[in-house]
Amino acid sequence: MAKLEIVKVPNPVLRKVAEKVKGYTSDLEKLAQDMAETMYGAPGVGLAANQVAVTRQVIVIDVSAPDKPKNLLVLINPEILEEEGMDEIEEGCLSVPEFKQFVERPTKIKVRAKNLKGEEVEFTAEGLLARAIQHEIDHIHGRLLLDYAGSIKKQLYLKKRRKLLKQDK
């Protein structure tokens, strides 16, 4: 396994709509493993392939507490079939450093995806898991946490990021 670099705003790959995975080859398993290692190392509770500059519909998630055994979920071509309830919670994102945003999302979702064997899986997720899945599905559609902010907050943040990146050069 290898830890990958997490790309950050304003990298345009974060805005790409990722392509559906068709073939289930060994490189897919390697990608998922590398993404998992990158997520655990960050540390974070979820990561989408766009965040490691790969535009394929692959997400990894683990919302188990740090002191609990790992419970990795790899979802390929995930889609939401049904949703229920709504709440608003503040989220962060590894690709949007030093940015927090309250986001309204359904609290319970029914998900369809493929696993690493290419088998179709369907399940219901609630709470933090449901939220993390929705956040990562946003990523593979090119949508970012920033998009839930008002335009002034968003523009100020982007300005600050560009300034910071210029200083780093």
The residues annotated as belonging to the active site are 136
Q: Which of 14, 36, 54, 93 binds Ni ion (CB under 5 A)?
A: 93
Rule CB under 5 A: is residue 45 a binding residue for Ni ion? Answer: no
User: What is the smallest separation between the CB atom of 32 and Ni ion, expressed in angstroms?
Assistant: 17
Q: Which stretch binds Ni ion (CB under 5 A): 12-20, 71-79, 87-95, 97-105?
A: 87-95
Query: In the complex, what is the shortest distance from the CB of residue 112 to Ni ion, in angstroms, rounded to a whole number?
Result: 21
Distance (Å, whole) CA 76 – CA 169: 36
Say how many C-beta atoms besides its own lie within 10 A of residue 65's C-beta: 7
Interaction between residue 146 and Ni ion (CB under 5 A): no
Q: Which residues of 62-134 form beta strands (DSSP E)?
A: 73-84, 87-93, 96-105, 108-114, 120-126
Q: Does 140 bind Ni ion (CB under 5 A)?
A: no
Q: In whole angstroms, what is the distance from residue 160 CA to residue 165 CA?
A: 9
Residues of this chain that bind Ni ion (CB under 5 A): 93
